[in-house]
Amino acid sequence: MPGVRPGIAGRPTVSVTRASRWRRGVLALAALGLLALPHCAASWDSSSKVNALRVLGVSADRPYALPGEEVTLRMTVHDGLGDPADPASGPRSVQILWLAGCFDPVGDLYYLCYEDLAAVLAPLAGGAAEGGMSAASGLLQIDLALPQSSGVPDAHAFTFTLPDDIITRRPAPEDSPHYGIAYVFFAACAGTLALADIQPAEGAIPSFPVQCLDDGGTPLGPDSFVPGYTQVYAFADGRGNANPPVDGLALDAVPVAEDFAQIPVVPACPLTDDERRQPGCWGTAAYEGCQAHRLEALVGAVAEVDPDGTTGTGAPLREAVWVSYYADRGDIAQDMALVSDSVTGYRAEHATEWVAPAQAGPATLWAVVRDQRGGSTVVRRLVRVE
């Protein structure tokens, strides 16, 4: 899907391009094609279960901006793993890294930004030699994301400015919109951030220039380190793109309150994680005896007109909009649902089902609503399991 694509099930990846291939509908259709597949239990956890360090989304207040404008990015990150040696310890402290300053790389290839990033990181070489980094310039920001157990959205902000010449510095194409692109890289680390060697093997793509180390200096894996990137575009015709408005999350048709004191209470499902992973499809005897709760993102017909899309008769198309559901505890039936189709329009039925975990305590539920042009909105709510 376009925009940021952080690690799935804790595996670190980088974003698929949003407008480096400016016709982005193919990517959206490929992702939404997964909706036709039945949800069946397997011997591994679904990507909707947040049981490791995960970046669920990075939203820009201006997915399409104008030259010279400030853009604020907000990262939603959650540690669903905690200390493996002490499962009751809760979420770990996480370092958040933002790296800006790469604009209009040749071919819109993100890895051509790494030399620019290395220049931004160069002043930190001394700190990296000692096993850590600290912020050094306006293009770089490092935050400490402390564990949170309240209903406050777990988002961390970073603001940067597009250059005045982000569009005019590159020649206008003959057969596609004239635009400029800004890449912003990020990382979430449940350890200590440090510089990494970006020199690739011959013919290989350079690696991300930052690593995440444990207390002994050993690189941490995808359960504890999630790097990625997002993009912001500026178009010569001044077009914009709003993030999809979302009014909240509903559980069993009742909006879930943001106030922690008013969150709903649901009964636990006594099935163990291993029992939930037995082969079989959702709705079969695998979940017999457990209540399935309807979970729905409260989003209406919010799709904007896609200025580059038309039907065969020349009528305008609207952007595709879809929602991804996540939970740190319990199980989600179908983790993705289509909200609006480019041709047929709004789909009122885009809910999924969630089954509570076996253990009592708060469970966190998220809905990330995205459009195919890079807009995204994250909603987070808590439910108490008893």
Q: Is the dihedral of CA 144, 145, 149, 152 positive or negative?
A: positive
Are 199 and 168 within one domain? yes
The CA distance from 226 to 55, in Å, is 7
Residues 214 and 313 in one domain: no
C-alpha distances (whole Å) from 81 to each of 4, 9, 189, 272, 384 are: 22, 11, 12, 17, 19
Buried b (16+ CB within 10 A) or exposed e, 194-215: bbbebeeeeeeebbbbbbbbee
User: Do 202 and 314 lie in a common domain?
Assistant: no
- Say which CATH number the domain at 360 has: 2.60.40
Q: What is the pTM of this model?
A: 0.83
Alpha-carbon distance of 373 to 307, in angstroms, equals: 11
**Does residue 80 share a domain with residue 114?**
yes
Last residue of a domain, one of 168, 200, 235: 235
Which one, of 276, 294, 293, lies nearest residue 46 by Cα? 276
**Residue predicted with more confidence, 200 or 76:** 76
Of the three residues 190, 210, 235, the one that is the final residue of a domain is 235
Residues 180 and 275 in one domain: no
Interacting residues of 359 by C-beta distance below 8 A, sequence separation 6+:
268, 329, 385
Least confident residue range of 8-12, 39-43, 323-327, 343-347? 8-12
Per-residue pLDDT tens digits for 368-378: 999 999 999 99
Total residue count of the chain as it appears in this document: 386
Tell me, yes or no, whether 76 lies in a domain.
Answer: yes
One domain for residues 231 and 274: no
Please tell me the predicted confidence (pLDDT) of residue 121: 76
Decide if 29 is inside a domain.
no
Please say whether the beta carbons of 319 and 346 come within 8 A: no
Do 80 and 217 share a domain, yes or no?
Answer: yes
**94 and 209 fall within a common domain:** yes
The verdict on 154 and 262 lying in the same domain is: no
Q: What is the pLDDT of residue 175?
A: 86
Within a 10 A sphere around the Cβ of 32, how many other Cβ atoms?
Answer: 19
Q: Which of 3-7, 54-58, 100-104, 182-186 has the lowest mean pLDDT?
A: 3-7
Q: Is residue 20 part of a domain?
A: no
Angle at the Cα of 278 from the Cα atoms of 252 and 225, rounded to 5 degrees:
80
58 and 160 assigned to the same domain = yes
Domain count for the chain? 2
User: Is residue 89 assigned to a domain?
Assistant: yes
- Identify whether residues 309 and 188 lie together within a single domain: no
- Residue 28 lies inside a defined structural domain of this protein: no
Q: Is 15 a domain residue? A: no
Residue 58 lies in a domain: yes
Q: What confidence tier does 130 reach under pLDDT thresholds 50, 70, 90?
A: very low
- Please give the pLDDT value at position 128: 40
In sequence order, the 6+-apart residues with CB closer than 8 A to the CB of 129 are: none
* pLDDT tens digits along 151-177: 344 678 888 999 999 999 999 998 889
**SS3 letters for the chain?**
CCCCCCCECCECCCCCCCCCCCCCHHHHHHHHHHHHCCCEECCCCCCCECCCEEEEEEEECCCECCCCCEEEEEEEEEECCCECCEHHHCCCCEEEEEEEEEECCHHHCHHHHHHHHHHHHHHHHHHHHCCCCCCCCCCEEEEEECCCCCCCCCEEEEEEECCCCCCCCCCCCCCCCCEEEEEEEEEEECCEEEECCCCCCCCCCCCCCEEEECCCCCECCCCCEEEEEEEEEEECCCCCCCCCCCCCEEECCEECCCCHHHCCEECCCCCCHHHHCCCEECCCHHHCCCCEEEEEECCCCCCCEEEEEECCCCCEEECCEEEEEEECCCEECCCEEEEEECCCEECCCCCEEEECCCCCEEEEEEEEEEECCCCEEEEEEEEEEC
Domain limits for position 373: 249-385
Q: What is the mean pLDDT of the chain?
A: 80
Q: Among the listed ranges 57-66, 112-121, 287-296, which one has the minimum average pLDDT value?
A: 112-121
- Structure-model confidence comparison of residues 141 and 177, the more confident one: 177
Model pLDDT for residues 206-246, shown as the tens digit of each residue? 778 888 999 999 999 999 999 999 999 999 999 999 999 99
241 with 371: CB under 8 angstroms?
yes
Q: Domain end: 235, 263, 292, which one?
A: 235
Question: Are 231 and 281 in a shared domain?
Answer: no
Q: Is residue 22 part of a domain?
A: no
